[in-house]
Amino acid sequence: MALIRNRELAQDDWVYLEDDTPVPAEGGVIVSRARWQAERDVLAGRNAPIGVRLAPGDGPEVVAADAGRLDLVAIPFDHFKDGRGYSTARLLRQRHGFTGELRAVGNVLRDQLAFLERCGFDSFEYAGATDPAAALRAFDEISVVYQTAVDRRATAAARRNHPSQAFANGTSG
Amino acid sequence: MYLYDEIDQSLVDERVVQFRDQVRRRMSGELSEDEFKPLRLMNGVYLQLHAYMLRVAIPYGTLSSEQLRKLAWIARKYDRGYGHFTTRQNLQFNWPALENLPDILAELASVQMHALQTSGNCIRNVTADQYAGVAADEVVDPRIHAEIIRQWSTLHPEFSFLPRKFKIAVTGASADRAAVKVHDIGLVAKRNPAGELGFEVIVGGGQGRTPMVGPTIREFLPERHLLSYLEAVLRVYNQLGRRDNMYKARIKIQVHETGVAAFTEMVEREWEAIRDSAVDLPAGERERIAAYFIAPRYAPPGDAVATHTRHLAEDAAFARWVETNVAPHRAAGYAIANISLKPIGGVPGDATAEQMEAVAALADRFSRSEIRVTHEQNLVLPHVRQDDLYAVWQTLRAYDLHTPNLGLISDIIACPGLDYCALANARSIPLAQQISERFADLDRQHAIGELKVKISGCINACGHHHVGHIGILGVDRKGEEYYQITLGGSGAEDASLGEIIGPAFASDRVVDAIETLVEAYLGVRTDGERFLDTYRRVGADPFKEALYGAH
Amino acid sequence: MSGKVICANRLRDGIVVYLAAGNEWSEWISRSEIARDDVTAEVLLAKARRAEADRIVIDPYLIDVTEIDGEVCPVRYRERIRASGPSVRPDLSKQNRVPGVSGEGA
């Protein structure tokens, strides 16, 4: 398992905490959504980064109210066919103002990376069997985007109609 | 028609490079078949009964002569000399080698074509009225919005892994030639009392295992909000559509289980949150796209009508073709010429490379280099001067493309069925051929009148049997091909789903059964009544009696 | 006599092939190696899975066949169509293609 963050291979400075493991005083921890809901005040009161891993099927509303308190939200992709997390990510970013690390976890494959990034993910637990460095190329394979999304890439329409604004507003909504 | 600019071209070119690398990774073993399959599917590559199959997108059924010629060239060089036009206005090649597919996609990209999203759980190739831009009963050319949707849906980052596939159809006319009520989303362009353009939005229709006629969830959506509204529908579906059971994963099940009112409220609430955002097109882009669909300047008809009238009087066979296959055009002196891909005893929707080239040449000479593909698996020359029709027909006759049977009993929709398809339970094509041959007599077909027979080889209903006036569904019964007959379906503006008439028939009994149904209809119809009208008036009983009464 | 043979699609071009003697894959079912018992069938399937891992074929599986007058004939009509080509295009059917002339002769 390799971690890709902001299009680079990165060291993972977070640890997953099982639900029955005591909370360490220091260091970034990622807890399950259930534990977060049960121990929110204790966890948020630590003087260290805190992240939550959503369960499959959890929508953005599960952590929307905490968007300002969380440093990381991990969204599971247990099967590439399950695309709910793409909407969850967009809504967390665009509607609920989440600005922390948004991490795609589970069975994340090379050919999903570009879509995931456009929906607001900035880190990926890459599950591909092949060289993770080669997977980084997947972000740049297609240079054209037709839709506004979380990333600030100028859409085809924006480039055609306002060629001077190479990075027209792509984040509202 | 729409032409790619360098941005559009970059996308399809880069996609070819990407796919070439994916194929290389598969051949070298970096990718397993399980990993490769979703990638090839997103480029339209299936593995079928005999070989790979490539489904080429023909967005909203509009083709240039150059594109059609390229398809013919690919059929000859990389396939076995023919292609199959489908009920989704696409073209399928049945025999491409995987090792050649990157080259084939590169050839397609060279004429502004692709196979993107012709498979997979994404927004599929958008379809539209084949008479778009030339129909007399049209509010707006629906290809403007179909192209806007094509671009918006292409590699959509949020909606490429939906619960199931998603099909959108658009029409701008009052007569529904795009089957909008049996799509995941159907859009009907209309004007409000203030004269503003907008759409009626129909969501949750479909065929397959659980056929449904879609309900209207919004009577009028202002045109400028089209994409944000679609995005709202797709988001509600992506988040809450069922993923536990692939047979219940289409949006029609979600609409049905949630209830139309509650579903509509969810969509409206989502739309309120995004309706004035950057999701909709920036100023200027709609006009840029619309400019490609401005109606051509038609030359004054001159003596076109008089010449045409003389041809009609002089040649009865031509007159019959015109009566059946030629539709009124919005411009005086012009006509819409339908080309039947249903010769008597032929394979519905198949065209040889030679036929494709002949049609391309006709389009260049007589139809402003433009061709349309219909969901009923025929072709259209949309801009023919009436005095050119005779020359068009003579050429069509030389290529067996002149059968005057549009909308008649031998104009059968049939899926590839078990002759090609890995999912099928029974064959469809041989049955279509047998029915066509039984009713080969054109006088008889014309006497019977409009009768839409649609055949599917399995419950997935690619042959649209649910909306056939007579629908036929192939089933496997203990290792034998059997066929279930439904009556009373329609995919048009009077959409309805066919009802099963009774026990299924063995393959050697089906054609007799169809003939029995036709005779029963002729026995009770009143003047001017189509088969469908008669069925709706008298109900199923006379037909049941005719089919099963003796037993 | 009845038995089982292995069919699959060839990876590089997708064409239907049958496992023949000597670990060869043939486009003609008449060349296929017939398993008369379950043990032999399992051996054939294991060979086919190795060929799948070696990226020669995809989706190999066993089908039931009978021999009629020396001709190998699949039991299910789906497999009969798969063996001979689309029933509506006799011009493309495998029976009309001469082994060794088009495609691989093996």
By CB neighbour count within 10 A (0-12 exposed, 13-18 middle, 19+ buried), where does B499 fall?
A: middle
Flag whether pLDDT at B533 surpasses 90. Answer: yes
Å between B50 CA and nearest CA of chain A: 27
Q: Which of B3, B230, B239, B289 to mutate to test the interface with A (most CBs of A within 10 A)?
A: B239
DSSP annotation string for A45-64: HSSS-EEEEPPTT--THHHH
A48-64: per-residue pLDDT in tens? 999 999 999 999 999 99
- Give, in degrees to the nearest 5, the angle at Cα B465 between B460 and B470: 165
Flag whether pLDDT at B167 surpasses 50. Answer: yes
**Residue keyed to tokens 């593909």:** B373
pLDDT band at C95 (very low <50, low <70, confident <90, very high): low
Q: What are phi and psi of B238, to 5 degrees?
A: -65, -35
- Tokens describing residue C56: 């020669």
Q: What are phi and psi of B268, to 5 degrees?
A: -65, -40
Q: What sign for the dihedral angle of Cα B23, B24, B29, B30?
A: negative
| Per-residue pLDDT at B140 | 96
A164 has a chain B CB within 8 A of its CB: no
Name the closest residue on chain B to residue C54, using Cα atoms: B29
Residue B421's SS3 state is coil
Helical packing angle, B389-398 and B304-314, nearest 10°:
40
From chain A, pick out residues whose CB is under 8 angstroms from the CB of B274. Answer: 173
For the residues B360-373, what does the mean pLDDT come to?
98
- Tokens describing residue B54: 């490539």
Å between A155 CA and nearest CA of chain B: 10
Regarding chains A and C, contact by 3 or more CB pairs under 8 A is answered as no
| Per-residue pLDDT at B517 | 98
Mean pLDDT, chain B, rounded, equals 96
- Give, in degrees to the nearest 5, the angle at Cα A168 between A162 and A172: 135
Flag whether pLDDT at B295 surpasses 70. Answer: yes
The one-letter amino acid at B115: A
Residue B392's SS3 state is helix
Q: Which residues of C touch B (CB under 8 A)?
A: 9, 11-16, 52, 55, 58-59, 75-78, 81-82, 85-89, 92
B102-111: per-residue pLDDT in tens? 999 999 999 9
User: Which of A95, A143, A158 is nearest residue B14 as measured by Cβ atoms?
Assistant: A143
The verdict on ipTM greater than 0.90 is yes
pLDDT band at C98 (very low <50, low <70, confident <90, very high): low
Flag whether pLDDT at C96 surpasses 90. Answer: no
A133 has a chain B CB within 8 A of its CB: no
Å between A134 CA and nearest CA of chain B: 12
Report whether B40 contacts C58 (CB < 8 A): no
DSSP annotation string for B448-511: H----EEEESSTT-TT-GGGSSEEEEEEEETTEEEEEEEES-B-STT-B--EE-SS-EEGGGHH
- C25-26: strand order across its sheet: C25-26, C16-19, C2-10, C57-68, C71-74
A111 has a chain B CB within 8 A of its CB: yes
B48-70: per-residue pLDDT in tens? 999 999 999 999 999 999 999 99
Record: contact C86-B50, CB cut-off 8 A: yes
| Per-residue pLDDT at C97 | 62
Flag whether pLDDT at C105 surpasses 80. Answer: no
Flag whether pLDDT at C106 surpasses 60. Answer: no
Å between A52 CA and nearest CA of chain B: 20
End-to-end Cα, chain C, rounded Å: 24
Strand partners, B476: B481
| Per-residue pLDDT at A164 | 56
| Per-residue pLDDT at C103 | 38
- Tokens describing residue B118: 């012709």
Averaged over successive runs of 10 residues, the pLDDT of chain A (173 residues) comes to 93 94 92 95 91 96 95 94 96 97 93 96 87 89 96 92 54 38
**Alpha-carbon gap, residue B418 to B412, rounded angstroms:** 17
Measure Cα distances from B284 to A125, B11, B238, C48 in Å: 41, 21, 30, 58
Å between A144 CA and nearest CA of chain B: 6
From chain A, pick out residues whose CB is under 8 angstroms from the CB of B112. Answer: none
**Alpha-carbon gap, residue B491 to A76, rounded angstroms:** 41
Subunits with 3+ C-beta pairs closer than 8 A to B: A, C
DSSP annotation string for B179-208: -GGGSSEEEEEEE-TT--EEEEEEES-B-T
Record: contact B278-A170, CB cut-off 8 A: yes
DSSP annotation string for B256-277: HHH-HHHHHHHHHHHHHHHTTS
C79-88: per-residue pLDDT in tens? 999 999 999 9
DSSP annotation string for A108-172: E-GGGHHHHHHTT--EEEE--SS-HHHHGGGGGS-----S--SS-PPPHHHHHH-TT-TT-----
Residue B551's SS3 state is coil
B540 has a chain C CB within 8 A of its CB: no
Record: contact C14-B96, CB cut-off 8 A: yes
Name the closest residue on chain A to residue B285, using Cα atoms: A157
Of the candidates C47, C61, C66, C62, the residue with the CA atom closest to the CA atom of residue C3: C66
User: Which of B26, B51, B481 is nearest residue C77 as measured by Cβ atoms?
Assistant: B481
Q: Which of B35, B50, B455 to mutate to test the interface with C (most CBs of C within 10 A)?
A: B50
Q: Which of B158, B266, B274 to mutate to test the interface with A (most CBs of A within 10 A)?
A: B158
User: Which of C14, C78, C81 is nearest residue B51 as measured by Cβ atoms?
Assistant: C14
**Residue keyed to tokens 């089957």:** B179
From chain C, pick out residues whose CB is under 8 angstroms from the CB of B48. Answer: 14
Q: Which of B3, B151, B161, B285 to mutate to test the interface with A (most CBs of A within 10 A)?
A: B161
**Alpha-carbon gap, residue B462 to B456, rounded angstroms:** 6
User: Which of B30, B157, B228 is nearest residue A119 as measured by Cβ atoms?
Assistant: B157
A170 has a chain B CB within 8 A of its CB: yes
**Alpha-carbon gap, residue B295 to B132, rounded angstroms:** 10
- Tokens describing residue B236: 């509600």
| Per-residue pLDDT at A1 | 79
Regarding chains A and B, contact by 3 or more CB pairs under 8 A is answered as yes
| Per-residue pLDDT at B283 | 79
Å between B103 CA and nearest CA of chain A: 18
Å between A27 CA and nearest CA of chain B: 33
Record: contact B347-C88, CB cut-off 8 A: yes
Å between C102 CA and nearest CA of chain B: 13
From chain C, pick out residues whose CB is under 8 angstroms from the CB of B427. Answer: 81, 87-88
Record: contact B277-A148, CB cut-off 8 A: yes
